[in-house]
């Protein structure tokens, strides 16, 4: 059965990959992001291929705007089947004692509080209908800290704990909850982390074939379409030459 899938942070990277893969699966999409022009481009692309798309422009850090958008969904879009909490970012790569306060606030407000806001707004409807699936995009960084990753790693460790807690809280329902943890994925992630330093960002992926947003989206679609009695609770996806968050074997270096 075709589903209504809400994807946050859908304008690039894993979010965009999820939009395209769920569209190819025949699902209807609610796409959120901060940039209207990018959402419009993606909507036009997918609509031209026959996908029903609704776009919502807001930052998940803005709880008031997020609430307004979700509470005022058209009737035919209210019964959300899958929530993909993808919006998230890393900022900075410095020792904790040299970190930027603003970077910390942005990561915590987006990666943790934004995810909680969307969960709080969408999951009550799932509970009422006794069906649904929440897919939180975590990270290998949530399993163990790596050098200079401190606060970002902490936010993704929080995603793991929050996801586990939600899974326990809805175990009496038919709702499934997944923590999808990517390793090294080549998106604009590193460019954002390094505040637009493209050269430094490119070095992150040198000597190894990283994952793509589409690779992670494939896993999300698989989890969402597993048999109803199967709950993919947690899955770690790494590039072939990545052993952990801090172990990456680079070739020809």
> Which residues are known catalytic residues?
152
Q: What is the 3-state secondary structure (H, E, C) of 187-252?
A: CCHHHHHCCCCHHHHHHCCCCCCCECHHHHHHHHHHHHCCCCCCCCCEEEECCCCECCCCCECCCC
Q: Are residues 152 and 158 in contact, defined by beta-carbon separation less than 8 angstroms?
A: no
Give the C-alpha distances (Å, rounded to integers) separating 152 from 89, 118, 203: 8, 20, 19
Q: In what order do the strands lie in the sheet with 175-182?
A: 53-57, 28-33, 4-7, 82-85, 132-137, 175-182, 234-237
């Amino acid at each position: 059965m075709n589903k209504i899938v809400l994807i946050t942070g859908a304008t690039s990277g894993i979010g965009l990959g999820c939009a395209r893969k769920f569209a190819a699966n025949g699902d209807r999409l609610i796409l959120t992001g901060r940039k209207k022009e990018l959402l419009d481009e993606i909507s036009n692309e997918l609509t031209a291929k026959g996908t029903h798309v609704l776009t919502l422009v807001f930052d998940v850090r803005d709880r008031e705007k997020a609430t307004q958008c979700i509470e005022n969904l058209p009737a035919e879009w209210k019964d959300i089947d899958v929530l993909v909490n993808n919006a998230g970012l890393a900022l900075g790569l410095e020792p904790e004692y040299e970190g930027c306060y603003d970077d910390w606030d942005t990561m915590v407000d987006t990666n943790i509080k934004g995810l909680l806001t969307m969960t709080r707004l969408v999951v009550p409807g799932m509970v009422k209908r006794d069906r649904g699936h929440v897919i939180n995009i975590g990270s290998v960084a949530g399993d163990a800290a790596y050098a200079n990753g401190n606060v970002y790693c902490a936010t993704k460790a929080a995603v793991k704990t929050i996801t586990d807690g939600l899974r326990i809280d809805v175990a009496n329902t038919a709702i499934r909850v997944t923590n999808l943890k990517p390793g090294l994925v080549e998106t604009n992630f590193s460019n954002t982390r390094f505040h637009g330093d493209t050269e430094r960002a490119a070095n992150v992926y040198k000597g190894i074939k990283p994952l793509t947003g589409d690779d992670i989206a494939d896993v999300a679609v698989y989890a969402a379409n597993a048999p109803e009695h199967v709950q993919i609770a947690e899955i770690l996806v790494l590039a072939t030459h990545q052993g952990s968050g801090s172990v990456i074997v680079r070739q020809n270096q």
